[in-house]
Amino acid sequence: MPYLNKLLTKKLASITLLSMVVIVSLCFKEKKGNEPKKPMNVIFILTDDHRFDFMGFTGKVPWLKTPAMDQLAKQGVWVRNATVTTALCSPSRASILTGQYAHTHKVVDNFSPLPENLNFFPEYLQKVGYSTAFFGKWHMGHAGDDPQKGFNHWESFRGQGVYYNPLLNINGKRVQYKDSTYITDLLTEHATAWMRQQSKDQPFFMYVSHKGVHDEFMPAPRHRSKYHGQPINYPSTINITASATSKLHGDVRTSPTAAMVKNDTNYNVKDIPQWVWAQRNSWHGVDFMYDGRVQFDDFYYRYCETLLAIDESIASIRKTVEELGIAENTMIIYMGDNGFLMGEHGLIDKRNMYEESQKVPLLVYAPGMSHNGKPIDQIVQGIDIAPTVLDVAGVPMPSNMQGQSFLPLLQDKKVSWRNKAFYEYYWEFSYPQTPTTLGVREGSYKFIFYPGLWDVSEFYDLSTDPEEKKNLYRHPAWQPEIARMRKELWNWLSETGGLQIPLKPINEKRGDYGSKGLY
């Protein structure tokens, strides 16, 4: 019987795959007039640590110019409330590729090995005839750069990589680049060259995964010091946890300190979690950034300058699409793997559930999908990328994916959509400043819980408090709402197998300062 069951399972799997191929083939052969309908090419551009509002068209940084991103948003669609389910490189990337939460795919930090049974959505594209390619930062399963399943062409580097003179693994052969070769430009050059080699009779999926704008920020030579000296709009919460010995940033009359806002009803200083107070003077806090070796203003400028080459990469890829005559049959998706705090709450980095950490840029261009500059306001998450790309290709979504296709939203259709988004982050041995974090956002309400930590939880109404200044967790009037959202959080964990704290291997026995923030 076990043998028969195994045989039956294999037969059913074969039938399912055959059915999928037939369905997709029929979709590809559908005609409009006398012309066959061609399958859509998809280009997915992922950047590292790019926060949601550092794009020219948002106006957040008045002097930051990102014309390619601006054009993508104007001609396509800006998903204004795009978030990730874990604001950390490897878990977020695994969620994008699998359509699963971190506690499901088990890539819970930057060192966890890749489970052998994981399937990446490009595998399904290959099965229906797509040519697939990967360029750039993989950063899953620790620091490996070896070719991965799902990609016909492969170019990557180990771990976080370097900005200058990278060593690339190109289809299993390592090539060292010299002469100040800049990684963003190199990946763009190789990606556009690969596009030119593709047959117009075969659809392609191309994944360009940039190193930028991960710290240590290093702009291209042409962009160095471009923004140095520009006025910085310091976040209103940058000095909220400041002490008498803190480094105060900006004009403290407009960037308040804890003492100044003690009786200000717009703030709730007493209910700032203790870990936030403590982290200010740590590796990921503004008073002791990366062991005190980094100055905030320089850090801010270099971040913006490093972003410029990413914008140029988008422009170059779009130009190549136009030159190849495939613009009417190609979707371009631009996204960040997580956000990045720039002084908010006295912090830098990501990992936590604050808006600047969890929210990411998400821009989509495809023919016939322009919203005339009107953004999508529904909450779209990283786990929705895989189902969406498969939907575009006509491939049924596998049952183990936990996201959903947002293609109907891009098509401006009236569809039922989620009204809540969940979040998880698991404590790391190498970066102990940020605790395990679980949370849920529903509409404008956000509930954050720190399991195993004797600290206050957080609850915000983002409609009146977008900067998360006033923790309402202890406010009597909000207790019914908080209780309901707490129940929603635990129901989600229970229903998706998340009622556990994953054990993680300690691959590098290093302290807080060993890597200078490289991961």
pTM: predicted TM-score of the whole model, two decimal places = 0.91
For the chain, the C-alpha Rg in angstroms (whole number) is 23
Q: Are strands 167-170 and 153-157 parallel, antiparallel or unpaired?
A: antiparallel
User: What pLDDT does 506 receive?
Assistant: 66
The three-state DSSP-derived secondary structure of 411-444 is CCCCCCCCCEEEEEECCCCCCCCCCCEEEEEECC
Is residue 381 within a helix (H) or strand (E), and if so which, with residue range? strand 376-381
**382 in a structural domain:** yes
Give the separation between CA 395 and CA 44, rounded to whole angstroms: 17
241 falls within a domain: no
Distances (CA, A) of 390 to 50, 97, 376, 378, 503: 25, 11, 20, 20, 32
Beta strands 445-449 and 35-36, pairing class: unpaired
Is 395 among the domain residues? yes
Mean pLDDT per block of 10 residues along the chain (519 residues) reads: 40 43 40 64 99 98 99 96 98 98 95 91 98 97 89 97 98 97 99 98 98 97 98 96 93 90 92 97 94 93 99 99 97 98 98 98 91 89 99 97 97 93 93 94 98 94 98 98 98 94 65 45
* 316-318-321-326 Cα dihedral, nearest 10 degrees: 180
Evaluate the CA torsion angle 148, 150, 156, 158 in order and state its sign. negative
Q: Is residue 458 part of a domain?
A: no
**CA-CA distance, 109 to 372, in Å (whole number)?**
39
b/e per residue, 37-68, with b = 16+ CB within 10 A?
Answer: ebbbbbbbbbbbbbbbbbbbbbeebeebbbeb
What is the spatial distance between Cα 53 and Cα 489, in angstroms, rounded to a whole number?
Answer: 27
- Output the pLDDT for position 325: 97
Whether 469 maps to a domain, the answer reads no
pLDDT at 24: 42
Give the containing element (helix H, strand E) for 378: strand 376-381
155: CATH:
3.40.720.10
Establish if 278 belongs to a structural domain: no
CB 385 within 8 A of CB 399: no
In a domain, 76, yes or no: yes
Burial class (CB in 10 A: 0-12, 13-18, 19+), 472: buried
Question: How much is the pLDDT for 263?
Answer: 87
Number of domains forming the structure of the chain: 1
Q: Is residue 429 part of a domain?
A: no
**112: containing domain:** 41-230+294-418
